[in-house]
Structure 1
Amino acid sequence: MTLQISDGSRVRTLTLDRPDALNAFNEALYDATAQALLDAAGDPTVAVVLLTGNGRAFSAGTDLLEMHQLATDPDFERGTHGFLGLLDALVAFPKPLICAVNGLGLGIGATVLGFADLAFMSSTARLKCPFTSLGVAPEAASSYLMPLLLGRQNAAWLLLSAEWVDAEQAREMGLVWRVCEPDDLLAEARRHAEVLAARPISSLVAVKRTMTEPLRSEIAAARERENAAFAELMGGPANLEALAAFAEGREADFTALPPGW
């Protein structure tokens, strides 16, 4: 089981549940989360989805060991939905999505907040978009959504630096809405989720649709640009050095790469 699903007061809670892997997304977790969002979208008894993580991480992003297999093994079997299917489900999700960032969030564990209608964060949690440290490009339409959400310079630092952002910085940037003490996080997120869930689902859907519809074409265009850049960079010298360094438990050294990399 990679994903816990529970219901209460018209709120469906999805808990990423690979704590030993810091809730990193392998193909199985991408599939489970995407399918859970699709199921919640079509379930007339669900008004709001709350996404959180089990253990000390929200999500460490894509499982890098599996990512290395994807980059080097042409026979590696992909999941039904995968990363792109999860993004499709997030873009199309018609109901309020609330994220409760309980711990470390890297990669998709941070960029998913671009799709959150409300985001809560533990005061001890931290976020990172590690794209440049992995020798790859942005993902999840973050190149569009983050400047829109945070402003250009905050987004530039987040996406270019591959540095950690703490909870207070995230709140100041506008990446999250509320910062809570760790023991209060889930209760506070659920309290707000239940406020929304008490409203008519038809009205919640209409409000979200009118807010997000103008963004859809730009999100799609950003994803195309990102996918093209990612495909160009994945498996390139910088990416292979980053993945090898991770597998070997060392810091990546990009100084010896060919010019331009």
Structure 2
Amino acid sequence: MENQAVITEVENGVAVITLNEPKSLNSLSVEIVEGLTKSLQSIKHDPTVRAVILTGNGKAFCAGGNIKSFSSITSAASGRKYMHETGGFIKDLVQMEKPVIAAVNGYAVGAGFSIAIACDFVIASPHSKFALGFHKVGLVPDLGGLYHLPRMVGMARAKELAFSDRTLSATEAKEYGICLEVVEEEQLLIRAMAMASSFASSPTIAIGLAKGILNRSFESSLEDVLREEGMVQGISFTTEDHKEGVRAFIEKTKPTFTGSYS
């Protein structure tokens, strides 16, 4: 599960995915896209992985698309093909039934910003910077940025960030609701690992089912959510984690969840 551009390490139920082309600020090269796609597809089907951390090596989380490669896009058809080939992993990232934490260690710009906010949580170091910046090269925000951003910050702020060259500091990103926490750089992965480990020891089937409903909640009616809650609760009742939780509650002990069905 490892190549030169993307390194994936799994330990104690947590997968740490590191974008590893620091010289290019982890911009979306073919190698990074292929490595990230392969890693996410493998992880989502791996029952031993119960939480995920996505981060970058060097000064950036991800500096966005590889602008030098854009000159090869000469038609609307080739542009759509490029987007299809580049952004397919976003669905795997969003729909993965496991908590995903973006540990943003520097620049999260353009598509890198979109990738960060596609994760369930964003934790950043104080020196991190967040910007869409697509207008600088005459493009539209992509990789789900126009979907996730207004849900995080509201429509007016989303439009401000999409229409301007506004760059947010880590502190501003936290004030906007983009970052859950800002921690010192040397504590970033430590904090992300602590959070991921907590999730990994939780009833991850129930978490994954809840995540799916929450991801769809803004487009759902109350009736839709109530119906889905009933369906996934029925599934949750069949898990070993439910039985373990009930046992521990009755016996007043700490539960040991395994993320498995009966």
Aligned to 2:86: 83
Of 15, 18, 28 in structure 2, the residue corresponding to residue 12 of structure 1 is 15
Q: Whose radius of gyration is greater, 1 or 2? A: 2
Q: Which runs of 5+ in 2 are unaligned?
A: 221-262
CA distance in 2, matches of 1:31, 1:202: 28
Aligned to 1:136: 139
TM (norm. structure 1) is 0.76
Look up the SS of the partner of 1:189 in the other structure: helix
- The structure with higher relative contact order (CA 8 Å, sep 6+) is 1
Return the offset for 1:128: 1.1
CA distance in 2, matches of 1:60, 1:46: 27
Q: 1:213 to 1:75 in 2, by over 3 A?
A: closer
Write the mapping of 1:65-76 to structure 2, written as runs, cut at 5 A: 65-71=68-74
Using the aligned pairs only, state the percent identity. 28
Q: 1:32 to 1:95 in 2, by over 3 A?
A: same
Give 2:215's aligned amino acid.
Answer: T
Write the mapping of 1:229-248 to structure 2, written as runs, cut at 5 A: none
* Deviation per residue, 1:215-253 (Å, 9 max, x gap): 579xxxxxxxxxxxxxxxxxxxxxxxxxxxxxxxxxxxx
Q: 1:216 to 1:23 in 2, by over 3 A?
A: farther
Write the mapping of 1:172-251 to structure 2, written as runs, cut at 5 A: 172-214=175-217
Whether contact under 8 Å (1:38, 1:93) holds in the other structure is no
Of 130, 150, 157 in structure 1, the residue corresponding to residue 160 of structure 2 is 157
* Deviation per residue, 1:179-200 (Å, 9 max, x gap): 0111111101111111111112
CA distance in 1, matches of 2:59, 2:190: 17
Whether contact under 8 Å (1:14, 1:49) holds in the other structure is yes
Look up the SS of the partner of 1:24 in the other structure: coil
Return the offset for 1:162: 2.1
TM (norm. structure 2) is 0.76
Aligned to 1:48: 51
Of 24, 29, 33 in structure 1, the residue corresponding to residue 32 of structure 2 is 29
Aligned to 2:115: 112
Q: 1:215 to 1:47 in 2, by over 3 A?
A: farther
CA distance in 1, matches of 2:148, 2:88: 18
Whether contact under 8 Å (2:95, 2:212) holds in the other structure is no
Count of matched residue pairs: 215
**RMSD between aligned alpha carbons?**
2.3
Q: 1:75 to 1:125 in 2, by over 3 A?
A: closer
* Of 139-148 and 189-198, the range deviating more from structure 2: 139-148
Look up the SS of the partner of 2:18 in the other structure: strand
Whether contact under 8 Å (2:9, 2:15) holds in the other structure is yes
Return the offset for 1:134: 1.1
Give 2:12's aligned amino acid.
Answer: S
Q: 1:15 to 1:185 in 2, by over 3 A?
A: same
